[in-house]
Every structure is written in C-alpha cells, then in structure tokens.
Structure 1
Amino acid sequence: MATARAEQIPVKIELKTKIKHDEQQETYELVAFGRYYQKGKSIYIKYDEIQEEGTVNTIVKITEGEAVILRSGALKMRLSFIKGNEMNGSYDSPYGTLLLTTRTKELQLDQSSEGKIDGHFDLRYQLLMQGSSVGVYEMNIKFKEE
C-alpha cells in the first residue's frame, strides 16, 4: 500500500456567508485562490483573506460529520462543528480570549468523484459569544481545481 501523500492542489474558492441576527441579515462573499489536500479521512481547504487588520490564514478541515475552522494571522479563531451538537471554540480579541459556542444545524460536503477536485461544503450554525447569540450563520464554500 502506498503512503498517503498530502498533495496540495490549487483551487478556486467561492465563499458566501449569510448572517441573520434578529430581523437583520448580512451577506459576505469572497473569491480566493487556495489549496485543497487530503490527509487520512479528512479534507483540508486553505486560503488567505486580506482584511483591514491584515492577512487572515484560514484552514477548513472536514471529516465525516464534523468540521473545524482555524483562522490565524491578523485574527485568531477556532470553531468546531458536529451536526446536532454544541461545541466550544475561541476567538482571541485585543481584550482577551472570548469563548465561542456553535450549535450546528447543517453540515454537508458534496464532491465530484470524477477526476478533478470540484465540490461544495455547506454549514449552518448558531454562534454564541460568551453565551449570548450573535446570529445564525449560513456558510457555503465552493471549491474547484484550477
């Protein structure tokens, strides 16, 4: 059996995030070029996002029925997701580390099984900061080999 090599494949990433809080809704869209790779039973999608504060490096790790979003650089955050579960995470702010909690309502990965990397990851969750709801997030990540 050959050893699994985590080959990083260049992908185009289209990220769309909708945030609903009370009666308000915001939508953010981002197109980035990043990397896709597999390690064991997990897939990873890596990309950088340029924000006012500086560059944010994001890694999305997806394993059967669960996911983790890690952000580092100008912003440090860790969010964990398991459908139907409440998971703890953290956000490092200038005022200290804040406790984040996710309540995952939907988590689904669909990928083409034919040759090139092509798929999408859908995530819907309620986000709580220090125990107070800050909204329901719908995140859709489309990725396609370039």
Structure 2
Amino acid sequence: MPVKIWVKTDVAHEGEKETFELSLFGRLFQKDGSTFLKYDEVQDEGVVHTIVKLADANALILRSGALKMRMIFEKGQLLNGSYESQYGTLLVTTDTKTFTHKTDGTGTGRAELVYKLLMQGDAVGTYTMNIHYELEEHS
C-alpha cells in the first residue's frame, strides 16, 4: 500500500540539540502482526533504502544502499546492531527508553522511539524519533 511517511528525529548530545525531518512516500505492508514501512532516502552519498519494522514490543530499522545499518529497539534492553562506514563495520548499541506504536488498522499510524545510541561503546546522543504514516489518497 502506498503511504506518506513523516519522520522527525531530535538528537540531544552534551547540551546541543539537532532536529532532522523527512517527508516522503513509501510503502506499507503487514506481516505476522508487524507493520513494515519501506522507503528510499536520497542522500549526498547516494540512495539509502530503509525498512522500519514496528512490532508490538520492539522495532527494527534496516538501511541498505549508500548506507548500511541495522538497529534493534526494545524498551529496557541494550541491543547491538551494526553500522557500515567507509572505516569498516562499527558496533552500535541502542538503549531504548520508550517505544510506542499505535495504528488504526487502515494504514494510518504513529510510532515514537526514545533511545540512547552508543557507537563502539561511546554515547553519541539521545534520540527521539517520531514516525507518522498514512495511506496516500489518490485523487
């Protein structure tokens, strides 16, 4: 199903705060009780293919293409993932504080993730990610 997706990410680190916002079109599909959002981001390095899996108790973000990354989120858990950079594969760890996902079952929903991100064991910030999606209406 075609959907419009909005992603807003606030990053707080050592008193600094940055906000990144994306608005794009993607696809939504559901499998085994989980919601999957699939979209492409065009970045300076090239196109990044992103899949976001939203389950009841956890979430997963997979990126491939110009950027390769795998991050897993589950409230109260420290979970390891990976980030491939030009310097090799780096260990990323998520420490999820909050994860909520609400959907109306018709292709509209929102998710919020609040997590601390560690790269190679060093804290790189606290991230608040809000994802909102809705079915794209064809006129």
- TM over 0.5: same fold? yes
Instruction: Indicate which of 28, 31, 40 corresponds to 1:39.
Output: 31
Tell me the TM-score normalized by structure 1.
0.91
Q: List per-residue Cα deviations over 1:27-85 (Å, max 9, x = no partner).
A: 00000100000111211001110000000000001111101100000000000011000
Q: Structure 1: any 5+ residue segments left out of the alignment?
A: 1-8
Q: Does 1:107 align with 2:110?
A: no
* Residue in 2 that maps onto 1:145: 135
Instruction: Indicate which of 34, 43, 51 corresponds to 1:59.
Output: 51
* Residue in 2 that maps onto 1:124: 114
Within 5 Å, give how 1:73-84 maps onto structure 2. Answer: 73-84=65-76
Q: Following TM superposition, by how much is the alpha carbon of 1:145 offset from its aligned partner in structure 2, in angstroms?
A: 0.1
* Residue in 2 that maps onto 1:91: 83
Matching residue's letter, 1:27: T
* Residue in 2 that maps onto 1:3: none
For 2:107 and 2:31, the matched residues in 1 are separated by 15
Matching residue's letter, 1:45: L
Q: Following TM superposition, by how much is the alpha carbon of 1:117 offset from its aligned partner in structure 2, in angstroms?
A: 1.2
* Residue in 2 that maps onto 1:5: none
Q: Following TM superposition, by how much is the alpha carbon of 1:112 offset from its aligned partner in structure 2, in angstroms?
A: 1.4
Instruction: Indicate which of 96, 116, 126 corresponds to 1:136.
Output: 126
Instruction: Indicate which of 16, 40, 43 corresponds to 1:24.
Output: 16
Q: List per-residue Cα deviations over 1:86-119 (Å, max 9, x = no partner).
A: 0000000111100000000000001114xx3111
Stretches (4+) displaced over 2 A: none
Tell me the TM-score normalized by structure 2.
0.96
* Residue in 2 that maps onto 1:13: 5
Aligned length: 136
| Structure 1 vs Structure 2 CA RMSD | 0.7
Matching residue's letter, 1:56: V
* Residue in 1 that maps onto 2:41: 49
